[in-house]
Each structure stands twice: as structure tokens, then as C-alpha cells.
Structure 1
Amino acid sequence: MRLIFSCLFLVSFFNVFAQQDAKPEIKPIVKIDSLYREDQFYFSVTYNMFTDIPQKFKQNKFSLGLSGGFLRDMPINKSRTVAIAAGLGLSYQNYYQNFAVSKDGNGTIVYNVVDAGEIASNRYRQYSVDLPIEFRWRNSTYESTKFWRIYAGVKLSYLFSNSSILDDGENKYKINNNSNINKFQYGPYLSAGYNTWNLYLYYGLSPLFKDGTTTLNGEKVSMKTLNAGLIFYIL
């Protein structure tokens, strides 16, 4: 009997000793940044159109536009749901249409609206550096990266390259960096949506061609750009 009590005493002693030596589990402390910013990379895909077009002007095929860049977010209210953002980006815009740009025998640039059945393709494309400045509203919180947003702004663009390419089925005629094109372009834009997926619309206020430099049948050409599509924001 004494032997049994001695064994039970030793087991209890070692059990208490083991419990005293066991170290409590330390859980990592997760810090949440309540002073967050929505600094974002953006990427847009658009269908490109022209407004204020001349008579018999038509677009054909799919005119694609691509742009991308970075925006710096600057919240202006305590809950950080309202902000101003500015950024820098690059754009590529392509337009398939029947507004042909060519040169006459004297090397002067001339413009014509051609019958789509007479040519294989005709397109205008441009590359630009963009400066977007926007006013932002979103219902975001520092605990969630998924939220509704409405961003409205103005985009300033500098065209560093442009080209017009006419293919009549036998030969290609290309004019690079047409001096009649407005290198500085600007216009308002709007993007709205949820999380990554957002609708995007841009309307150019500046004419594509410099004032008074481009005429068609004696009338001034005042075409402006219009881009509609999707824009994606990535943190």
C-alpha cells in the first residue's frame, strides 16, 4: 500500500512540475494600418472612337486602346473615403477608319474620306505620356481592399509619336509624326465600379488636329477622341 501511495505522489509531483515548465503560446500581434492609402497601378483597355466627324466618315474593325501607369493617393477626410490622386502613365491608341492621310506630288499632306471598298485598311495610331489628376470617392475601410468607387478626373497627354498608314491592297503609304496633329491633348474621364473591375470613359476636349491646319472639301476638320472600356486597379 505504501508503494502505491508513493507512486501516486511522484506522478502528481512530476505532473505539476511539467505544467509549471510549459511556456504559454505567444500569438503574433497583427498591426492594421488605419492611415492607409489607395496607391495603385492601373491598366485600361478601351474601344476608340471619334466625335465631331466629317461627312461620310466611318470607322471599321476594332480600334483598340491600351494604357497603364501609377496613381498616388492623397486622402482628404478622416475616414479616408475621399481623396485626390495624381499619377503618370503611357497610352497607345489605334483607330481604324476611312479618313486617309497622304501626300501629293509636291509633298504636301492632303486628307480625303475614301470608300472602304477601295482600300484594304487605313488606320491612325498615337503614343502618349499621360498625367491623370482625379477626385476620388470610395466606401473602403482599412480592413478591406474590396469596395465600390467613383473616380472623376482630367487627363493631360503629350503625344510623342503618331503615324497614319494607308494600305490600298498593293502598296502601303505611311506618314510619321504628322505636324498637324495636336501634341498636347486633354479631356475629362470617369471610372466607376467594384474591386478590380471598373467601367471607364474618356472624352477628348482638344481636337486631334491643330486649329486651321486640316481641311476637307474646304471645311475645317475638328475631330475629337472618345474612349470607352474597362480600367483595372491593382494595389
Structure 2
Amino acid sequence: MKNYSILILILSLWIPNFSFSQAEIKNDLNLPDQAIDSLYKEDQFYVGINYNILVNRPSGVSQSGFSIGVQGGFIKDMPLNKQRNIAIGIGIGYSYNSYNQNLGIIKDDSGNTNYFVLDDTFEYDYSKNNFYQHVVELPIEFRWRTSTPESYRFWRVYTGFKLGYAFSDICNFQGEPGKLRYTNIDGFNDLQYGLTLSVGYNTWNFYVYYALNPIFKDDVKTYIKQEHIDMSVIKLGLIFYLL
């Protein structure tokens, strides 16, 4: 938790100092007006931090601690009009997402994966339980902004769709009967997709991701009550755009 807080503080202080546009570079170099690029492109690199909220949780499942997500990548900006304030963006990126909650993912002696709700009915004590994923992402955005070739401070509204592939997932449990760690559990949905929205002015932009499919596969159920685990995620945070 302490490491996450330090990371968020560093990103919040450092990233805004490096959010700039092509026009800002030209102004700093004192180039003549005719050197301003009328065919400019905006916001082709991005980094962000967010809080992961689990929704559609089975009964008894709750989040604990801070479930953090970080993301970064490159988006090809392709303006659609002469003013270049309307564009399509297509890119590639990476995200790391952690989920601190009380859904224990534990294998039995036969190697079968069981999903326990770690509530009062769970017979063992535990001090830590989470899972996290590494995801390669393909964002597609429709972009509207108030930018001009001479201005680098502008409003933006970017909305779109993001397709992701979770190439690694890790589950951690610490308690009785011991410290357990599993990788690449079959029950996770490798393919992830959802809707995105970024809204803001200049450096600071609010970001939301709304998942359209669950984190786990359709046949995954809790061990005792046999409830389907249809949990999905909503991500809320900040995203910073660079040249």
C-alpha cells in the first residue's frame, strides 16, 4: 500500500510537467509564425492512474484496501477535418490492474481451482488476498478538442472503445493454510473490452472505463453457494496526454 501511494504521488507531480504539444515546443524555440505546423497532431502518448471498482459482485464479496491501476501507451492521432479538432485515434498500450478483495482463489490437492468467499463462514484466518493482471490494450477513440496550431491549452472530450488481452494474471493469498500464489488461472477471461471516456482541460483529464464483459468466465462459481461470478470493473482516475 505504501509503495502504491508513493507511485501515485510521483506520477501526479511529475507527469503534468511533461504534458505539452507541438505548438508549445515551437513557442519555446521562438520560431516565426510561419513555422507553426498547420498539420499538427495531438495527444499521441498517454499515461494514467485509476481506482478499480468491482461491480456485480457475488453475495458476501467486498473490496478492501486500494485497488490501483496504471496504464500507458501510444495512440495514432488522425484528424478528420481541416481545423483538426475532430479526430480518430487508434493505438496500443499496456495496463496493470490490481484487485484487493475477499474472493479467495485456492487450488485443492487435485489441482482444481475453487473460489471461496472469505467471510465469517470461511474456516481459516487470512491477512492478504488479491489478484492482479497485466494487459495489452488496443484503444480506439473518437476525439473532439478545442485545440489550434498556436494553442496548447484546450478542452478535450475523447470517447471510445478499448480491447484488451490479459497475458498474465497472478493470485495471492496469505493466511491459513499458508502463503499461496497462482499464475494464469483458467477461470479468468483473457479477452477484455469496454467503453472509455476522457474529459478535461490542458493537463488534467478525468478518465473512466466501463467494462462490457466480466473478469471471470461464465462457468466460474463460488464454492459453497454456487453463484456465478459475474464481476466486472469500472475504472475511475486521471489520464495525462503527451505529444
Deviation track 1:159-195 (CA, whole Å, cap 9, x = no partner) reads 1100110111772111110011111100001010011
Counterpart position of 2:204? 197
**One-letter amino acid matched to 1:191:** S
- Consecutive unaligned residues in structure 2, runs of 5 or more: 1-29
Q: Which has the larger radius of gyration?
A: 1
SS of 1:120's partner is strand
Name the counterpart of 1:134. 141
User: Is residue 118 of structure 1 aligned with residue 125 of structure 2?
Assistant: yes
Are 2:224 and 1:220 equivalent residues in the alignment? no
* Backbone CA RMSD of aligned residues: 1.8
Which amino acid is 1:48 matched to?
Answer: N
- Distance apart, 1:213 and its partner CA: 3.4
Matches within 5 A, 1:37-186: 37-115=41-119, 118-168=125-175, 171-186=178-193
**Cα distance in 1, alignment partners of residues 106 and 32 from structure 2:** 68
**Shift >2 Å, 4+ stretches:** 27-30, 115-118, 213-216
- Relative contact order (C-alpha < 8 Å, sep 6+): which is higher? 2
Aligned residues: 209
TM-superposed deviation, 1:39: 4.4
Letter in 2 for 1:219: E
The aligned counterpart of 1:6 is none
Structure 1 position 35 matched with structure 2 position 39: yes
Q: Which runs of 5+ in 1 are unaligned?
A: 1-26
Q: Distance in 2 between matches of 1:196 and 1:233?
A: 7
Tell me the distance in 1 between the aligned counterparts of 2:237 and 2:197.
11
Percentage identity across paired residues of the two chains: 46
Match for 2:162: what amino acid? K
Amino acid at match of 2:148: T
Cα offset for 1:29? 4.2
Aligned 8 A contact 1:187 1:206 in 2: yes
Per-residue deviation at 1:228?
Answer: 0.5
CA contact (8 A) 2:43 2:241 kept: no
Distance 1:120 1:51 in 2: 23
